[in-house]
């Protein structure tokens, strides 16, 4: 540790500056005005206390060697820092931009000061490494005679594929979309994650020997059982893609869409790719139901498309800005964070439930309003298009999660409604029919702690087995699954396995 008193010299935390709102909402580029190495980067890295027990590392599912690379950033030893970081992470340019930084919540310094800027150090290291030419293909020294099919090219599938390729196996990644990246490609807006970051990694992986097949849907273009017969092992990394719906009156009306129908279309337009659903927020009253990261992405996207106004509804109360009593350090706490999209406009409405969608008198007569904690419906115009959403305020209930507050019902105008309330489980329809793997109680692909499913030689990683989660967990699962597959194929493995499949974040019951 170079400066044991660094955290005493610099007690404040400095974030990367963002471009002015008026400027950035006119384009789809990164919202940040600053990137890469800054004059203050090294002094911020010096705030790391190099703790005897680095809780930051235990908070990170990848087990990143955080105190080590923080000190190397302080010394501006970029090649050494990159070597430390790449030991545990395949795509730090992704986690360094869109991960919620579980490591920073576990930072010991965060008990009494703002935590160390671990996430910014991570992205600075990898940006410097690319700029200085340290990131190079790492093809295996010799090949095995084993073949692996990885179905899905999200962070779990790509991490798994890269690890297995480097171990010497012949790996083919199948992606049903027209480009590699899974949710990272079209599901995350460009102003948060520029797609050239994915493209250059794919080029690196191709140079290492990984093969990619886009536009191929397993279960339709190739059956799952046929795929299994062609390869020595199959990895299911198809994500959790079945969205949670809102079964309330009027749900069938035009103008009501899932967020993951809307966001990918917007990104496709940015890159000149034909949209699938052709959804556009221009000149519309937009309501987003669900206030998580995806809801925030919908907000920023709708603003850039020229929406009249955007309202984001969240049934939960506003998160606290500091740790609540039921989430002590170093557990993961759900804290309020103002995203770049929230700064750009729109209105967030908390503790609010959807009641019904609104339209013509005939449609209103058809809608049945029930007095319960469940949402109750939409309303349309004479053409069957949504025109409004009736909402009601809620409070914590004695006999259930929420109690509706009498007299708080009101109607919000809506031309476009985006449902962003999470995902239920992966789409396993063809998988179960053609290669009957067992599912768990939530509809995810069941697997043991070594990621093996009920079918011999078939493994599952990422959200397909874990359920909807974070990119850092997906990458960790992909790396660990690769080790399990390597062991299955060869009898032993030297690949790292940072987690077991049943591992979960350190949290207390809510």
End-of-domain residue from the set 132, 158, 173: 132
> What is the domain range of residue 345?
248-421
- Clarify whether residues 253 and 402 are in a common domain: yes
- Clarify whether residues 157 and 222 are in a common domain: yes
pLDDT at residue number 356:
78
Question: Residue 378 falls within a domain, yes or no?
Answer: yes
pLDDT at residue number 5:
86
* 378 membership: H or E segment, kind and range: strand 378-380
d(CA 164, CA 139): 11
Radius of gyration, alpha carbons of the chain: 24
- Clarify whether residues 39 and 153 are in a common domain: no
Domain containing 92 — which CATH number?
A: 1.10.1060.10
pLDDT at residue number 154:
98
pLDDT at residue number 377:
61
- Clarify whether residues 49 and 177 are in a common domain: no
Tokens of 281: 């927020």
pLDDT at residue number 509:
59
Residue found by looking up tokens 């597959």 in the block: 485
Question: Do 95 and 126 contact (CB within 8 A), yes or no?
Answer: no
- Clarify whether residues 351 and 397 are in a common domain: yes
Structural domain total, the chain: 3
Domain containing 394 — which CATH number?
A: 3.50.50.60
- Clarify whether residues 396 and 454 are in a common domain: no
- Clarify whether residues 105 and 47 are in a common domain: yes
The DSSP symbol for 130 reads: H
- Clarify whether residues 457 and 415 are in a common domain: no
- Clarify whether residues 77 and 224 are in a common domain: no
pLDDT at residue number 375:
43
pLDDT at residue number 382:
74
Question: Residue 139 falls within a domain, yes or no?
Answer: no
C-alpha 65: how far from chain center = 22
- Clarify whether residues 260 and 179 are in a common domain: no
pLDDT at residue number 364:
38
- Clarify whether residues 33 and 182 are in a common domain: no
End-of-domain residue from the set 132, 159, 176: 132
Per-residue pLDDT of the chain (510 residues; tens, 9 = 90+): 567 888 999 999 999 999 999 999 999 999 999 988 999 999 999 999 999 999 999 999 999 999 999 999 999 999 999 999 999 999 999 999 999 999 999 999 999 999 999 999 999 999 999 999 999 999 999 999 999 999 999 999 999 999 999 999 999 999 999 999 999 999 999 999 999 999 999 999 999 999 999 999 999 999 999 999 999 999 999 999 999 999 888 888 999 999 999 999 999 999 999 999 989 999 999 999 998 999 999 999 999 999 999 999 999 999 998 888 888 999 888 889 899 999 999 999 999 988 877 654 433 333 222 222 234 467 677 788 999 999 999 998 766 678 889 999 999 999 999 999 999 999 999 999 999 999 999 999 999 999 999 999 999 999 999 999 999 999 999 999 999 999 999 999 999 999 999 998 876 655
- Clarify whether residues 283 and 403 are in a common domain: yes
């Amino acid at each position: 540790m170079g400066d044991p008193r660094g955290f005493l010299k610099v007690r404040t935390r400095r974030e990367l500056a963002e471009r002015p709102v008026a400027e950035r909402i006119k384009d789809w580029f990164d919202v940040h005005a600053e990137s890469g190495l800054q004059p203050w980067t090294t002094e911020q890295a010096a705030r790391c206390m190099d703790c005897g027990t680095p809780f930051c590392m235990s908070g990170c599912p990848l087990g990143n060697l955080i105190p080590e690379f923080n000190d190397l950033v302080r010394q501006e030893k970029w090649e050494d820092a990159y070597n430390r970081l790449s030991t545990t992470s395949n795509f730090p340019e992704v986690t360094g931009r869109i991960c919620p930084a579980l490591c920073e919540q576990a930072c010991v310094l965060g008990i009494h000061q703002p935590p160390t800027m671990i996430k910014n150090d991570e992205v600075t290291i990898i940006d410097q490494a690319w700029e200085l030419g340290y990131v190079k293909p790492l093809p295996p020294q010799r090949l095995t005679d084993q073949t692996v099919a990885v179905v899905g090219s999200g962070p779990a599938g790509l991490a798994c594929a890269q690890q297995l390729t480097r171990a010497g196996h012949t790996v083919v990644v199948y992606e049903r979309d027209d480009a590699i990246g899974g949710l990272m490609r079209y599901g995350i807006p460009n102003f948060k994650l520029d797609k050239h970051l994915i493209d250059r990694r794919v080029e690196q992986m191709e140079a290492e020997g990984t093969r990619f097949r886009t536009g191929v849907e397993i279960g339709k273009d190739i059956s799952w059982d046929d795929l299994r017969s062609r390869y020595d092992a199959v990895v299911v990394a198809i994500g959790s893609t079945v969205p949670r719906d809102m079964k309330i009156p009027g749900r069938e009306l035009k103008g009501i869409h899932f967020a993951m129908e809307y966001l990918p279309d917007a990104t496709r337009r940015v890159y000149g790719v034909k949209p699938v659903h052709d959804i556009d927020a221009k000149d519309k009253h937009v309501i987003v139901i669900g206030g998580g990261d995806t809801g925030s992405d919908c907000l920023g996207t709708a603003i850039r498309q020229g929406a009249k106004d955007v309202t984001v509804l969240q049934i939960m109360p506003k998160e606290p800005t500091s740790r609540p009593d039921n989430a002590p350090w170093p557990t993961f706490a759900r804290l309020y964070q103002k995203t770049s999209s929230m700064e750009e406009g729109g209105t967030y409405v908390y503790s609010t439930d959807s009641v019904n969608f609104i339209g013509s008198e005939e449609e209103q007569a058809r809608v049945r309003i029930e007095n319960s904690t469940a949402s109750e419906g939409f309303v349309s115009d004479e053409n069957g298009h949504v025109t409004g959403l009736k909402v009601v305020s809620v409070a914590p209930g004695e006999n259930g999660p929420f109690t509706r507050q009498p007299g708080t019902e009101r109607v919000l105008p809506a031309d476009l409604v985006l449902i962003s309330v999470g995902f239920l489980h992966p789409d396993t329809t063809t998988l179960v029919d053609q290669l009957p793997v067992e599912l768990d109680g939530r509809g995810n692909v069941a697997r043991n702690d070594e990621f093996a499913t009920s079918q011999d030689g078939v493994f599952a990683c990422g959200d397909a087995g874990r359920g909807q989660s974070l990119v850092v967990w997906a990458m960790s699962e992909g790396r660990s699954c690769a080790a399990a597959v390597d062991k299955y194929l060869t009898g032993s493995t030297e690949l790292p396995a940072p987690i077991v499949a049943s591992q979960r974040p350190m949290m207390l019951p809510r």
